[in-house]
Structure 1
Amino acid sequence: MSYNPSLFTPPPNSNEDEETHIRENFNPLFFQDGNIILKSQNVGIRVHRSVLEMHSRTLKTIFENNPTCPADSRSPPTLFIDVTDWDLVHYINAVYNRSRDYFMVRPQAFDITASLIRSSRVLHNDFLRVNTIKRLHNEYPTKIANWDSIKNSEFTRICKVPGLHIEVVHLGRSEHLYTILPAALYRICKQYDMDTICDGVLCIDDRRAVLSLEDKLLCGRAKEKLYYAQGEMTHGWIFDGSIPVASCPRLGKCEAAKNEVKQDVVGIMPRIRALDKWPQRWNDKFCRRCELMAKRMHQTGRIRVWDALPGIFDFVSWNDLRLLEEQKVYL
């Protein structure tokens, strides 16, 4: 956003009810002082120019090229920002209230996360953008070790709500956060059947989170690939004759155990388990030699699926996704 003198004009008439509703979410400090009004669609927020310069390269550049603000503090200049009202609300709260939800380790509502990512991009607040994106990287990682860590822990950086993964996919595509897409799409394929993917998921605010048509088709193709991948990689040891091992001391029992596990995996309605860890219910079914071999092959298969995950969703490799994201987001 480059400097344009027309940006500094009296604010147009706004929806007073909407403005009042949103202003109630602010610390009154914002409206007691300041020499700049930041204006979104319906909301104007009066803040100090120096605070804005401190947190935004874009605004700093604009202010440096702008003549001195009028002396009459009752009519400060207005700068129109191309963000939604709530994006502006959350941005200003994050800038002024660092002790609140915006920088805490505790879980954050996804709408706040999305607002901060969008607004920090528009206003070039690199610190806020990078630290907010880290929340998404924590939940949708690029390494299987990190995936296992979050699956083993109840701790989360994003509040879990219905439709979350679908909203994450929309945000990832619009904000060029390519590295979160494979894990988010995998969660969708694993959690929902195709009817739900096509119809969308009802959110807690009665909206319906719906994938784009392209992503619906992508998930349909990916589900088939994931079924094939888990049969060939994660559960390949069940079908390729590796178990029982040649030195198995109880061939008959381990063969029967393998068939029992096969029924568990295939079942009447197969589910996507391509990245599932070895379940405890399979422990002690095999002899020690067969179990060690099966667990080793199971883990190796999971890693192979993880490495192939971007390609399953028609993306480039993990490393190339990271490079693309760095070029779009951090430069």
Structure 2
Amino acid sequence: MSSPPTERRIESLVPVTRSEIWHTDGSVILQSNCTQFRVHWSVLAMHSGFFNGMLGLPQPPDQPNVDGCPIIELCDDSEEDVACLLRALYDPLFFVQKTLPMQHIASILRLSRKYEFRGVLETVAERLTHENPTTLAAYDALKTGNSYSPTRIVNYHGLLYDTINVAGENKLLSILPCAYYRALVGSLPTDIFDGIPRSDGTLATLAPVHQRACNLGRVALLRAQWESDGTFGWTEDEPGEFGCTESTGCREKKYSFFRRHVVRGSLAPFCSVSYVDSLNLCAMCTISVKARMISGRQRMWDLLPTFFDLPAWSELKDEL
């Protein structure tokens, strides 16, 4: 009796299918699992240091091929990821799209890093760095009032968490401080640990390392925003120091603001300075409080990475 087929022989019985990405004049076959893509060595070598290095290597005589095109197996890469990267390479309008799905961005980031498609890597990473800037001015420019919606990535419930995970996996460290902060103010504290349901029924969850960072950051930010040089340090100022014309009234309004938001656990170190107008302080206090908020917001931003146990902005580099 013959022995049962080995796992390798079982796998060989699975039919191989051609992807829609099949250029009849292509010169190389990329195979992911049981899906093949026929493309051009010249295109791969032009954009990828990895494939450029392979181009001149001698091919073994027994290497499998299709219509004379050598087959390169892409181990551990999904068909979806490979197809997405190849569309980005071959479609000149791919990156012209105003918004891209995070799934496409994640796929291209993974493979362009792995196979050294540097230009593609930088182009797709820019979508994430644009949405999660490193300067306060750029952060403010993305907001409408105190709200924010992404403009270069398709929005959905769970996007913030997926952004953090993708940035961490691909060592885009400069993205993390802003993304962490947005995750804190854009979801409930329990969501950090339990996750957020996406519209397709799946759950967006943060990796444990990011859960820890967000937990540390929430505590540190809540404390720092009320310190004397923080965004709301002006709540401790005595109105009389700034030529206040309504000393008792302004003192009470400042205390009321402080008490209300401390009790609520409000986290808003980068709220708009225009919010001060709603406090109805006297003219002199309004001027002084706005000035204090401007400097406090900037200081909080300058320190933002450190609240999440990350290096300072100047040391926080992306590994592209």
TM-score class normalised by the smaller sequence: 0.7 to 0.9
- The answer to whether structure 1 residue 300 and structure 2 residue 292 are counterparts is no
Contact 2:149 2:155 in 1 (8 A): no
Where 1:98 maps in the other structure, the secondary structure is coil
Map of 1:269-284 to 2, 5 A cutoff? 269-280=264-275, 282-283=277-278
Shift of 1:284: 6.7
Runs of 4+ in structure 1 deviating by more than 6 angstroms, as ranges, are none
1:53-92 map, 5 Å: 53-67=45-59, 74-82=67-75, 83-92=77-86
Q: Is 1:104 aligned to residue 96 of structure 2? A: yes
Superposed displacement of residue 316, structure 1: 0.7
| Matching residue of 1:7 | none
Q: Is residue 265 of structure 1 aligned with residue 261 of structure 2?
A: yes
1:261–1:282 CA contact under 8 A, matched in 2 = no
Partner letter of residue 42 of structure 1? C
Counterpart pick for 1:182 among 177, 186, 198:
177
Shift of 1:304: 1.1
TM-score for the superposition, normalised by structure 2: 0.86
Moved more, 120-129 or 74-83: 74-83
CA distance 1:64–1:42, shift in 2 (3 Å): same
Identity of aligned residues (%): 25
- Would the alpha carbon gap of residues 13 and 31 (structure 1) be closer, same or farther in structure 2, given more than 3 Å must change? farther
- Structure 2 CA distance for aligned equivalents of residues 144 and 248 of structure 1: 30
CA distance in 2, matches of 1:193, 1:15: 47
When residues 105 and 257 of structure 1 are mapped into structure 2, their CA distance, relative to the original with a 3 A threshold, is: farther
| Aligned residue in 1 for 2:251 | 255
The CA distance in 1 between the partners of 2:26 and 2:55, in whole Å, is: 14
The alpha-carbon deviation at position 154 of structure 1 amounts to 5.5
In the alignment, which residue of structure 1 is the partner of 2:8? none
Q: Find out whether 1:318 has 2:318 as its counterpart.
A: no
Alignment of 1:123-272 (within 5 A): 123-152=115-144, 156-232=151-227, 233-238=230-235, 240-243=236-239, 245-266=241-262, 268-272=263-267
SS at match of 1:115: helix
| SS of the residue 2:210 aligns to | helix
1:198-254 per-position Cα deviation (integer Å, ceiling 9, x unaligned) = 11111122211111223223322221111101111111101x224454411222332
Superposed displacement of residue 194, structure 1: 2.4
Aligned to 2:36: 44
| Deviation for aligned residue 1:180 | 0.5
Give the residue type in structure 2 aligned to 1:256. Answer: E
Aligned counterparts of 1:174 and 1:154: Cα–Cα separation in 2: 23
**Unpaired segments ≥5 residues, structure 2:** 1-10
Q: For the structure 1 residues 202 and 236, does the alpha-carbon distance in structure 2 shift closer, same or farther, using more than 3 Å as the test?
A: same
- The answer to whether the 8 A contact 2:238-2:251 is kept is no
Give 1:74's aligned amino acid. Answer: D
1:39 counterpart SS class: strand
- Deviation string 1:161-207 (CA, Å, 9 cap, x unpaired) is 11111111111121111111111111111122222111111112221
Q: Offset of 1:64 from its aligned partner?
A: 1.4
1:35 aligns with 2:31: no
Size of the aligned set, in residue pairs, is: 302
| Consecutive unaligned residues in structure 1, runs of 5 or more | 1-10
- Alignment partners' CA distance in 1, 2:308 and 2:238: 29
User: What is the CA-CA distance between 1:15 and the residue it aligns to?
Assistant: 6.3
Greater fraction strand: 2
Alignment-derived partner of residue 8 in structure 1? none
Where 2:200 maps in the other structure, the secondary structure is: coil
